[in-house]
Structure 1
């Protein structure tokens, strides 16, 4: 991986923060955990420094950091309450937590993730927390696809599936729920054990935290299950644990899909749009998983959504 100026400066910041928090000798070992257009993340010792997306402002981030600091039993709390500034990017500092191991899928903490999510959804949202950003991120993925798509044959099904969604799921109008606390981008990569190595699971990444429709936080595993990409047993474990923890996103029993259908469709379109935009930009064919997502988008146009009409506007 090339060492960019941002990555180099972020590593130095992480080292300074790590040194300031310990009197023992720092091991001076830095790891790049992520380097994307929307986030660069570096670990130095027990400190993780994250450079947020260029368009993230203090007004966006500050109330979300404050919420994480107030809810340490659910969210990994930041080490510092105020973001730093680096190369026109905001930087936050976090304690290191052990992530879910992608190489041991049988040990994936579906029940723990569901229970955390249910507790988050039942927690009163802190004052002045902005709306959850899930629908806005989905809209940006589709906009990016329109910009780079060209004449790729898979673009049509994805855009038709997007056009069939209600306005709130496309970020075009406010969400029908403006009170429930939501994570906004839930997947297993958003969990860590803290304190490391075997502390309780906590949710990370507050960039999209806010108020909104709680079913959005169940939508990614629901979408993968509907597309045949997540085994039915794992989906059943996740859903049962969420219900057992009295999560409000779905009914306590019976069919959950009237609540999950629209968010699951939106996450399917978002994931397909991102994958297709990358494939077009790199001039590479879609892989098997990406083909499944596009096929699911194509099927959506022929199957009406299950959300009650009063909530779909």
Structure 2
């Protein structure tokens, strides 16, 4: 994703340092290019090398190194790194080969390739030393930032109250002990894929770990349930995932038995993100954003705290 033209430019010092690191790896003669500059993350391309400065508040120590070792051990599924993490300007920095991102062409999105990669990841025995995925912490963090000052925020907060206590981070609450446990990406969407030499790979391993693989299907399931993702796209994705024998959902029958809680959680999370973005930009919600808030209303009307 290119940088937002309305967003302040990144720190010249940090950009310059990433460009230097990339040039040292890729060689001279390449103009540095910003690929991503949002949410405290800066990604710079220099030739065929991508240099990423991670969020300052994310773990950049042993856990990140362990997740990167998992990616390096599964190069047919995950883009391998170009070495261990390093430090620049007080930020954790990682290096990766450049890959061609997904282009938003309706009808040509690589849903089947995403399903294949996820099914393969979910079916792979976790390498030794794989850390736990943890829990979907982002939704609680985002909802706590909503003060309830608008009708949309109130609807999101009510929907949040229907989620299981462990997702709402209630004291002492824990995920179900019998939940499936396997290798998952942890934050999957089509933007987490790049094509290298004609083959798709998964990227961004900050959440890679052991957990319930159903959460990797949560975002497309959420967007489909809100009417934002077309039925044909959802059918292509889910059908391909089942065809590749992905273990996160039953091979036949109703997938929502396992997708309901993850999908509800992601609807609320994405809706909270949209409301905060609209408030920051002083603009009304657009159509898809309002559809997500409306889905929160449906969630709160039928749900109850679990």
Same fold (TM over 0.5): yes
1:194 maps to 196
Output the CA distance in 2 between the equivalents of 1:11 and 1:48.
9
Alignment of 1:16 with 2:21, yes or no, is no
Structure 2 residues not aligned, in runs of 5+: none
Offset from partner CA, 1:231-284 (integer Å, 9 cap, x none): 111101110111111111110001111110110010111101111112222322
Alignment of 1:112 with 2:110, yes or no, is no
The Cα RMSD (Å) is 1.9
Alignment of 1:85 with 2:93, yes or no, is no
Q: Going by fraction, where is helix more abundant, 1 or 2?
A: 1
Alignment of 1:136 with 2:137, yes or no, is yes
2:78 maps to 75
**CA spacing shift, 1:130–1:175, aligned 2, 3 Å:** farther
Alignment of 1:124 with 2:119, yes or no, is no
**CA spacing shift, 1:238–1:189, aligned 2, 3 Å:** same
SS of the residue corresponding to residue 293 of structure 2 reads helix
Offset from partner CA, 1:107-151 (integer Å, 9 cap, x none): 1111111011011001112233222256012222223x33xx461
Output the CA distance in 2 between the equivalents of 1:113 and 1:138.
24
2:276 maps to 277
Please, what TM-score do these two structures have when normalized by structure 2? 0.90
**CA spacing shift, 1:91–1:33, aligned 2, 3 Å:** same
1:309 maps to none
May I ask how many residue pairs the two structures share in their alignment? 293
Structure 1 residues not aligned, in runs of 5+: 20-25, 306-311
Q: Shift in Å at residue 17 of structure 1?
A: 1.8
1:131–1:178 CA contact under 8 A, matched in 2: no
Output the CA distance in 2 between the equivalents of 1:35 and 1:302.
38
1:133–1:184 CA contact under 8 A, matched in 2: no
1:178–1:211 CA contact under 8 A, matched in 2: no
1:158–1:269 CA contact under 8 A, matched in 2: yes
Q: Shift in Å at residue 15 of structure 1?
A: 1.5
